[in-house]
Amino acid sequence: MKKLKLILLICMLIIGLLLIFINPIQNAIIAHLSDQLNTTDYSTEDIEENKNAAADFEFEAVQSLSIGEVLKAKASIDDLPIIGSIVIPNVQLQLPILKGVGKSVLAVGAGTMKPTQQLGKGNYALASHYFKGKDILFGPLYHTEIGDLIYLTDLTNIYEYKLSVKEIIEATDVFVIEDTENTILTLITCTEDGKQRLMVQADFVAQYPLNEAPGVLTNALSLS
């Protein structure tokens, strides 16, 4: 009986430690995977191929990220459909842009919310997860300010936007990602309670070749 009680006590201790450390471990893996993809060499040909990859666009079905999904993303990282990068220098946000909003995609970067959207045209919408108090994935959006510059690239061009709207919206306000006559960027992430969404929108400023990237992007995009 004493032996059984000891085994149960050890099991409870292990479970307790896992509950304490599971979130820090998960967050560390996410940050590592995002950094790994940011420094991965990929070409314009890779991007064009990934644009044709099958993808999930059911954002309404997105749930809180679990450690299992993070580990699954880690195992499939070489197969994830990278189609570009997003950089917000003022809040040190740099993430890969991937096609769709599948679980593995949202575990490592920013996912495209519509199947036919194109950079520099209409309303380009991206989504990613938020973790309270953590500057990973779209967490840094909470530190952005009106006027911040946001840069997207597909390795051919740089697309520059200026932040113009930052507000909390309802989870049902899907109209914010609908196409518009103006060229804008819409970024979506969850609020702390998960019941609403933080929406950041930015107006299109300019498009220019990758080799004309401003100095602030040189290191972020590993340009010489």
**Does the active-site annotation cover 11?**
no
Q: Which of 11, 32, 129, 143 is catalytic?
A: 129
Measured over the CA atoms of residue 122, residue 113, residue 111 and residue 194, the dihedral's sign is positive
Cα–Cα nearest to 186, from 99, 122, 137, 93: 122
Q: Which of 11, 32, 143, 190 is catalytic?
A: 190
Residues 6+ apart with CB under 8 A from 218: none
**Does the active-site annotation cover 129?**
yes
Question: Within 13 Å, how many C-alpha atoms sit on residue 151's CB side?
Answer: 25
**CB neighbourhood size of 210 (10 A):** 15
Q: Known catalytic residues?
A: 129, 190
